[in-house]
Amino acid sequence: MNKYTINKPIWDGGYKERCIGIAEYRLPCIVDISYKDKHDNLVYPGKYVVTRDFAKKFDKKKVGASVEVRVIPISKLEKHEEPPVLTWLDDKDKYIKELEDLLFVAVDCLDDIILTQANSSKYRSMAKDALLKIIRSPHAKGIQTRSNTKD
């Protein structure tokens, strides 16, 4: 989808309120309005999505010699929500840390079994549980597992 920045709204587009004008050949698109008040704050923060069907609800206005735009009141625009990338990255970092902790538990248990030459069911069970949590993670789809132990 195309992205456009509107520098200044139309002060009265025939609707007695602030509007934007978008040429039909630019649709569908995502629009942000960069107009700021005297305190340098965005008057219309965020991004808005404009589809062809939505724009057809509003009047056309000829601008310049031959360009026609759809004049759309800003109050009628639909907010465009982008996926929260930072949240996803934070979740990914937490997930990786959790996997690292589980791997350390499994390795420590297996290391204790090797060093002490003890065939402790407690250590085997702890290692197996940690590894199964990693394998059964929702992000581990498609990993094939095989076990030759019965416990």
* Residue 135 to residue 144: CA distance in whole angstroms: 9
Domain count for the chain: 2
Same domain? 62 vs 119? no
Taking Cα atoms as reference points, which of 85, 69, 83 lies closest to residue 29? 69
In the chain the first and final C-alpha atoms are separated, in Å, by: 54
Residue at which a domain ends, from 79, 108, 127? 79
pTM for the structure as a whole: 0.54
Same domain, residue pair 69 and 15: yes
pLDDT band, residue 144 (cuts 50/70/90): very low
63-67, 109-113, 119-123, 140-144: segment of lowest average pLDDT: 140-144
46 with 101, same domain: the answer is no
12 and 55, same domain (yes or no): yes
pLDDT of residue 86: 54
Q: What is the mean pLDDT of residues 31-40?
A: 94
Give the domain extent around 131: 85-135
Residue 34 vs residue 100, higher pLDDT = 34
pLDDT interval class at 34 (50, 70, 90): very high
Mean pLDDT of the region 40-67: 90
Residue 75 lies in a domain: yes
